């Protein structure tokens, strides 16, 4: 349900373009976000979400779409926007507080100088992202607890999830990515990614069309040769040569087949057995398999 269907709109959508193209974009964002929320069971009874706002295109899109769903009665949770000012030189500290106040969005602005910590701990020439992310996440967990929130909500989209998968594949030696929903290590907070189905290009188009005050991340964005940028370039090349490739690969993450991979912790390969004549197929016990004779072992 959009503005054509009701007389009121949330302030975050005031002045939205009236073009057919933008209306389709907006409906797609709302639909895909709602689908992800429902598919991964993100809503819990009495939920209060801390919506993390960096000032980038993705977090603005997240904030707007969640408020759209809440405004239309489709998201029965309480939303609190939060920006963590990490003390980066030149950070426009007044932009987000003024924007959120103007939009009538409940919010909390927190200042923690993690920038100095990162600069002190990371040697010259190394990337800052890992430590910066850990410090930011720790502070957001603390703020969520102080605000009585049950979830920390992040603006990672489909492309972030896909890039993380390939970073783990190329550099980490594992098949893993950012899940749409997880529980933190302490077990007291959910971490949610409602934009899991949303393409980065759609976030870019939406935030620009709405003329939200974008704040770039100069800290990590100024570094060249980051692993994520390298992976993004590879995916961009694949997408250019075969449009739609990103979406196909993303769907693969939702269609895992442990029996066709190689992890014995996920699938009981040792327990596979052939069905004997007249006997129903089933898992065999370890006693059904002969041990490898010593003379055939590879280390002899």
Lowest mean pLDDT among 17-26, 140-149, 176-185, 213-222: 213-222
Only one residue has tokens 């290590």, namely: 185
* HSE-CB for 85 with a 13 A CA cutoff: 14
Lowest mean pLDDT among 87-96, 116-125, 157-166: 116-125
Within 10 angstroms of residue 105's Cβ, the number of other Cβ atoms is 20
Element (H, E) at 123: none
Instruction: Say how far apart CA 39 and CA 139 lie, in whole Å.
Output: 28
pTM: 0.86
For residues 182 and 190, is the Cβ–Cβ distance under 8 A? Answer: yes
Answer yes or no: is pLDDT of 299 > 60: no
pLDDT of residue 3: 47
pLDDT of residue 126: 73
List, in order of start, the domains of the chain with CATH numbers: 3-258 (3.40.50.620)
Instruction: Say how far apart CA 248 and CA 143 lie, in whole Å.
Output: 37
Lowest mean pLDDT among 33-42, 80-89, 183-192, 247-256: 80-89
Instruction: Say how far apart CA 249 and CA 258 lie, in whole Å.
Output: 17
Cα dist from 176 to 163, 164, 206, 265, whole Å: 11, 8, 29, 15
Question: Which one-letter DSSP state was computed for residue 190?
Answer: E
**Mean residue pLDDT across the chain:** 87
DSSP bridge partners of 79:
49
pLDDT tens for each residue of 15-74? 899 999 999 999 999 999 999 999 999 999 889 999 999 999 999 999 999 999 999 999
Answer yes or no: is pLDDT of 96 > 50: yes
């Amino acid at each position: 349900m959009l503005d054509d269907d009701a007389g009121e709109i949330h302030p975050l959508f005031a002045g939205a373009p009236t073009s057919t193209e933008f209306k389709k974009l907006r409906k797609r964002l709302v639909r895909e976000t709602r689908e992800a929320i429902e598919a991964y069971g993100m809503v819990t009874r009495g939920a209060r979400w801390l919506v993390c706002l960096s000032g980038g295109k993705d977090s603005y899109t997240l904030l707007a779409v969640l408020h759209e769903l809440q405004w239309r009665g489709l998201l029965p949770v309480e939303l609190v926007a939060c920006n963590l000012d990490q003390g980066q030189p030149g950070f426009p500290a007044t932009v987000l507080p003024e924007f959120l106040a103007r939009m009538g969005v409940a919010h909390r602005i927190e200042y923690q100088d993690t920038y100095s910590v990162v600069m002190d701990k990371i040697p010259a020439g190394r990337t800052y992202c890992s430590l910066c992310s850990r410090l930011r996440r720790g502070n957001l967990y603390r703020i969520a607890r102080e605000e009585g929130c049950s979830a920390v909500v992040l603006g990672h989209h489909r492309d972030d999830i896909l890039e993380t998968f390939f970073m783990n594949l190329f550099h980490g030696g594992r098949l893993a990515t950012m899940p749409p929903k997880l529980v933190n290590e302490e077990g007291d907070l959910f971490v949610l990614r409602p934009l899991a189905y949303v393409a980065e290009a759609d976030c870019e188009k939406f935030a620009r069309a709405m003329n939200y005050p974008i704040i770039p991340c100069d800290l990590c964005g100024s570094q060249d040769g980051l692993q994520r940028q390298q992976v993004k370039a590879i995916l961009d090349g694949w997408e250019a040569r075969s449009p739609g490739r990103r979406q196909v690969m993303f769907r693969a993450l939702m269609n895992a087949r442990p029996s066709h991979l190689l992890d014995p912790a996920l699938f009981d390969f040792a327990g596979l057995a052939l069905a004997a004549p007249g006997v129903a197929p089933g898992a065999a016990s370890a006693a059904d398999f002969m041990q490898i004779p010593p003379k055939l072992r590879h280390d002899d």
